Homo-oligomer: A and B are copies of this chain.
Amino acid sequence: MSSSSQAGWRAQLKPGNPPKSLLIVNKLRTKVVVDAIDTLLAYVREKYPTLRVFHEDRPDIPDGVEVWHPGPNAEPVDLVVTLGGDGTILHASSLFKVGAVPPVLSFSMGTLGFLLPFHIDDYAKALDSAFEGRATVLHRMRLSCQFHSADGMPMDAHCEDWQVMNEIALHRGSSPHLNTIDIFVDGQHLTEAVSDGLIVSTPTGSTAYSLSAGGPIVHPSLSALVLTPICPRSLSFRPLVFPSSSTITLRVSERSRASAGLSMDGQVSHVLGPGEAVTVQASLYPIPCINRSSIAEPEDRTGEGAGPGKEDDWVRDINNLLQYNATFRSKALLRHSRT
């Protein structure tokens, strides 16, 4: 199993080198999730008996599963399996803050999402493709950030080494007042933004909060940073797309009436006061996400018989999820019921 180190590029997992350890990640403990974990465990124990299986520390982890603690001294993990919604992958990402991340196989519990290529019913096919080295991955870029106090000194923030998959968002939160934030790109002043807040998003995050705030949809294999204002007072402030080599600094203006709450992938981390700043950059450690096309049968493919991984899941998802092709009229058809 190999994974190119360049963010945003697909790599073939290597045959002949099956994962030796597996980390199961789930947020919810609903019956459907618990049952799915049991089924999956039964399957891997039968088929891959030497595999070590880990789980985060929780009172109720399944029998025979070892407790896993994140951090620099974590036990090595060769494959991550997530069960749940998009938020479950975001959580899995947050467990790997240091160093390279193992490939992630994400199962939905019934609804498919942007970050959920596999339906839980396909667990066997999907696991086998990973174990047999047939899986292909999309390296989803992540962001890392650094904090600076009002006097420009690096701040010793506990979340210093947080890695985000979707976005870093600064927001006025429950303050009734607009933020004033100075934006710098590679050290150069871009503008002063008076707004509800600002989002620095990865291409992956471009379909999350940034999209709701009016940002463009960016293909996850592009290496780019998206800067999207949230309800800006200036009508001319449009979303901007930068190369992933750019460094973006957001500094709460000394004149700002409000401080700004910082969230990373939807987790509120801390609050920046006037003069304080966060600097955002592409992280060295993308998340290798296993593609749905890894398990596609040749006959499923569109186009002229491209091999595994050639088809672009994302293009299909965009078409399906956003229903681009739905004009008002065809939507009307969906509901067509007589009065």
Contact = CB atoms under 8 A, between A and B. Distances in A.
A263 B176 contact: yes
A28 interface: no
A185 B338 contact: no
Contacts of A333: 111
Given A188-B311, A266-B176, A338-B122, A231 B233 contact: no
Interface in A161-205: 173-174, 176-177, 185-196, 203
A118 B337 CA distance: 11
Contacts of A263: 176
Question: Which of A117, A213, A238 is the most central at the interface, judged by chain B CB atoms within 10 Å of its CB?
Answer: A238
A8 B333 CA distance: 27
Copies per complex of this chain: 4
Interface string A314-326: 0110111111111
A39 interface: no
A253 B81 CA distance: 32
A207 B323 contact: no
Interface of A: 8, 110-114, 117-119, 121-122, 173-174, 176-177, 185-196, 203, 206-207, 209, 211-219, 221-222, 224, 226, 230-243, 246, 261, 263, 266-268, 292, 295-296, 300, 302-304, 311-312, 315-316, 318-329, 331-333, 335-336, 338-339
A325 B191 contact: yes
A91 B177 CA distance: 15
Question: Which of A113, A214, A304 is the most central at the interface, judged by chain B CB atoms within 10 Å of its CB?
Answer: A214
A188 B328 contact: no
Nearest to A303: B187
B188 A303 contact: yes
Nearest 10 CB-CB pairings of A with B: A191-B324, A173-B174, A235-B236, A212-B231, A216-B216, A233-B327, A192-B325, A216-B239, A218-B241, A174-B174
A240 B261 CA distance: 29
B315 A321 contact: no
A276 to B, nearest CB: 17
Contact of A112 (B110, B236, B315, B332): B332
